[in-house]
Amino acid sequence: MTAQRRSPAGAKRRPPLHAVEPKGAAQSPAQAAPRVAPQAAPVVAPKGRAEAGERTPTLAPKSKGAAKGAGAAKKKVASPVVDTRTKPAPQKNSKKPAPPKAADRREALDAAAALLANAAEELSADQRRLLIDRLAPHAPEPEPAPRTRPPAPAPAAPNAHDFEIFAENLARLVDQGRKALAAAIGGMEPGDTRSELASNVADAVKTLGVVAERWMAKPEQAVAAQATLVSGLTDIWSQTLRRFSGEDTPPIVPPDPNDKRFSAPEWNDNPFFDWLRQSYALTTRWAGETVERTEGLDPQVKAKAGFYTRLVASALSPSNFVATNPELLRATLDARGENLVRGMKMLTEDLSAGHGMLKLRQSDESKFELGVDMATTPGKVVYRTPVMELIQYAPSTETVYERPLLIVPPWINKFYVLDLNREKSFVRWATSQGLTVFVISWVNPDESQAEKGFDAYMKEGVLAALDAVQQATGAKHVAAAGYCVGGTMLAATLAYLAEKGDDRIDSVTFLATQVDFTDAGDMQVFIDEARLAALDEAMSRTGYLEGVKMATTFNLLRPNELFWTYFVSNYMKGVEPAAFDLLTWNSDCTRIPRANHLFYLRYCYIENALSQGRMVIDGVTLNLRKVKIPIYELAAKEDHIAPARSVFTGAKYFGGEVRYVLAGAGHIAGVVNPPAKNKYQYWTGGPPVGVYEDWAKTAHENKGSWWGDWLAWITAQAPQRVPARIPGGGKLKPLCDAPGEYVRVRG
């Protein structure tokens, strides 16, 4: 083998290293030529090559031990150069060399490491950087560090004293449960043999049974739907088993960041609770999609089936039970069961407050007092009828607009939602803008007013208030505003006045108001002929609808946010709710007279008579087309009570110019949105023409509150100003201070 063949392939590209020739070695011309070049980097030959007689240049060692090794190698390579063109004759009984032992390998590696270390010392800084750059692409990538979760703190082991406390609290819980049961049973009216809960359950079973019949009529589709559910649950179980074995696998159903029920870290970190969460989410989603895909269902039945499905899914959530909710488990263990005792005590109190029905507490009502913390805008009650008090508010400007404003709130809640506190009060803000504001405060009726119907509320309420406003101010024309069902009555009143040729109201604002009930949302679920008959029978015993029933109905439209969140927090965690003015107002329920409620449900929700021109009041058939005054129609984008699409449809039935405005948020927050807060937004896009979805796509978004837009609209119609009007300064004398007496009657 020639010297060129023995040189490494990349020797010429290496930096110069010191090479030492073995002493006494014969150098032929052929051998000398390649050894002249100092750049050739000799390497240490493996032991097998040295034994075969191959000449191998060696790296000059610095230690004596290394030099001796080099001398030994010199003696072994003194044989003539082997001609690589001829093959050596095979030797008899030749054996393959034994593989090197572990000790020999370690010795060779140690020697190579020493030689490389010595060679590295000869390199300049630039050469070292160049070497590192060339070796970097061939270096193995480091393995990622395994993801580890911080270990959860180990709970303290319960002792005998803890078990004694648990046992004592368990006994107290049982005793408190008996009191809660007594409160529920004791509140039942004599002769009330029908359970409203049983009636609702029966209707739900009947409705969902219709859905099941449609699916069973097509077995192949039913089997496919069931297979989809089973497959999804199997995938979740398989993923859970992998997590239990230590794998970090992503969930099949990712958590929803907007679902506050599953915000505790255990719902994701603990494989068991993660399995519960995923299985629940997959099943509820499958159930909802199954209802939506049901063929041949009546729209009313489909709407009811979808609602009942959501209601049942909310009730069966694992977050509602102590054994399947990690937060409740932790709270119960930490409190030794005391939280459950406190919760059962609150449940007893709320059942007693609702006279056997659950009056779910959502706020600490003890922190608020009417006229002190809420409904504080200065004013006087200047007029009163059996169904309402009329409040005139004191001005806060030297001059006011000549045309006064009359507000008609809903009678199913109290008016002070528009006067919650100084910062949120629409009434206070309107007076500060120079408007003379009047508000109707509806009576909280008892059995003596059972026969006060829709027409009585119109005549003794809206029309009587209109007369009183004119007497108090002397104004010829009045601007009116109606909120929710108060707006529905105001629309009927305007149609009534149009038939009579009465034009005293020459501008109207509707706030989250429906006049057409074709697409009235989830409220339609509660209203059909059978439910109306059952409701009539229940109200006939008292003469009115309990306010707590209406409040519960509204809460069930959004069960997760408005019912189960408070149910779990109050009665399982045993935590008193915080003080919140809006929720305090929401729980201040009002009763509804039997005659009024039945008329409203039948002729609005069931027969949709107002928009169709078939509603008759006091012998007058109402036609909204004859209402030709300017209209400001405000809807709320996330409204579940008066859906924005329903408000849009109803706005097209009026005969005059309509400015349709869409506010952000829901039925309350979308309306009560003071400019100083700079929250939410509103959209403007011209009159309600075409379909709602097309209007919403092209509407212009405006930041902040709609109040300023409305003020510019209403004041441009009648900009004349007069000296400020003091309550009682006209023909009507004050009866008492605002907020009046009717509003203080509790339901």
pLDDT digits (tens, 9 = 90+) for 623-647: 999 999 999 999 999 999 999 999 9
Q: Looking at residue 463, what is its pLDDT?
A: 98
pLDDT score of 393 more than 50: yes
Q: Which residues contact 229 (CB under 8 A, 6 or more apart)?
A: 282, 283, 286
More confident residue, 677 or 609: 609
Q: Looking at residue 607, what is its pLDDT?
A: 95
Say how many C-beta atoms besides its own lie within 10 A of residue 92's C-beta. 5
Cα 90 to Cα 68: distance, rounded to the nearest angstrom: 33
- Verify whether residue 736 is a known catalytic residue: no
Q: What percent of the chain has pLDDT over 70?
A: 77
φ, ψ at 563 (rounded to 5°): -125, -65
pLDDT score of 733 more than 80: yes
Mean of per-residue pLDDT scores for the chain: 83
For residues 660-682, give the mean pLDDT. 95
Active-site residue among 484, 589, 604, 736? 484
For residues 521-536, give the mean pLDDT. 85
For residues 49-53, give the mean pLDDT. 38
Q: How many helices (H) and strands (E) does the chain have?
A: 27, 19
pLDDT score of 163 more than 50: yes
- The model's pLDDT over 322-378, given as tens digits with 9 standing for 90+, comes to 999 999 999 999 999 999 999 999 999 999 988 888 889 999 998 999 999 999 999
Say how many C-beta atoms besides its own lie within 10 A of residue 311's C-beta. 18
Q: Looking at residue 400, what is its pLDDT?
A: 98
Cα 436 to Cα 479: distance, rounded to the nearest angstrom: 10
- The helix-helix angle for 219-244 and 196-216 (nearest 10°) equals 110
- What is the biggest distance separating any 2 CA atoms in the chain, rounded to whole angstroms? 139
Residue 118, token pair as written in the block: 């010595």
Q: Looking at residue 458, what is its pLDDT?
A: 98
pLDDT score of 730 more than 60: yes
For residues 408-436, give the mean pLDDT. 96
Q: Work out the end-to-end distance of the chain between its first and last CA atoms, rounded to an integer number of angstroms.
A: 111
Q: Which residues contact 696 (CB under 8 A, 6 or more apart)?
A: 644, 662, 683, 685
- The model's pLDDT over 25-36, given as tens digits with 9 standing for 90+, comes to 334 333 433 333
Q: Looking at residue 303, what is its pLDDT?
A: 87
Q: Looking at residue 161, what is its pLDDT?
A: 67
Please report which confidence band the pLDDT of residue 64 belongs to, taking 50, 70 and 90 as the band edges: very low
pLDDT score of 114 more than 50: yes
Q: Looking at residue 53, what is its pLDDT?
A: 40
- The model's pLDDT over 173-201, given as tens digits with 9 standing for 90+, comes to 888 888 888 888 776 655 454 455 666 77
Q: Is 545 helix (H, G, I), strand (E, B) or coil?
A: strand
Q: Looking at residue 168, what is its pLDDT?
A: 87
Q: Which residues contact 679 (CB under 8 A, 6 or more apart)?
A: 664, 665, 669, 673, 704, 705
The full 3-state SS of 327-339, as one line of letters, equals HHHHHHHHHCCHH
- The model's pLDDT over 226-274, given as tens digits with 9 standing for 90+, comes to 999 999 999 999 999 999 999 999 999 999 999 999 999 999 999 999 9
Give the rounded distance of the alpha carbon of 229 from its chain centre.
25
CA separation, residue 391 to residues 206, 408, 427, 590, 728 (Å): 48, 11, 11, 18, 11
pLDDT score of 47 more than 50: no
Strand partners, 407: 439, 481
Cα 246 to Cα 266: distance, rounded to the nearest angstrom: 16
Q: Looking at residue 254, what is its pLDDT?
A: 95
- The helix-helix angle for 196-216 and 271-292 (nearest 10°) equals 70
- The helix-helix angle for 196-216 and 299-315 (nearest 10°) equals 110
